[in-house]
Amino acid sequence: MLSKKSQYAFKALSYLVEKRNDGPILISEIAEHKKIPLKFLENILLELKKAEILDSKKGKGGGYFFKENPENVKLAKIIRLVNGPIAMLPCVSLNFYEKCEDCNEDHCGLHDVLIEVRDASLNILESKTLMDLVD
């Protein structure tokens, strides 16, 4: 499941995609239009700025805007950044791999099935970008 944080990140990013030609967008405007708690949104947008997906401008006419072209930002990247692993178990994660306790990956049916789930999910999330979040 996507965390609330991830859901808020996608809501904020979809709003920024819609307004991408309007210049920097105030965080308060995003929070108000997308019903996101301001403090929570501040932390999310800072993470996205540190990852160089967004940038910000201070002062009059300031706000957040895309540093990276939203057509190039894959949904998988945002999920990993904000939510962590896409895989449902750590033993099938590509980027956050950890061996499960008391598990033999060579003979684990659940492991094998969840690799298929991971691959199917990644196939979709790596082919969709932030532009796919808007009509």
What does the pLDDT profile of the chain (135 residues) look like in tens digits? 789 999 999 999 999 999 999 999 999 999 999 999 999 999 999 999 999 999 999 988 899 999 999 999 999 999 999 998 888 888 888 888 888 777 776 777 787 898 899 999 999 999 999 999 997
Q: What is the model's pTM? A: 0.87
pLDDT of residue 99: 81
Q: Which residues contact 15 (CB under 8 A, 6 or more apart)?
A: 25, 30, 33, 34
pLDDT of residue 23: 92
Pair of tokens at residue 129: 């970008």
In the DSSP assignment, the letter for residue 45 is: H
pLDDT of residue 105: 67
Separation between Cα atoms, residue 125 and residue 133, nearest integer Å? 12
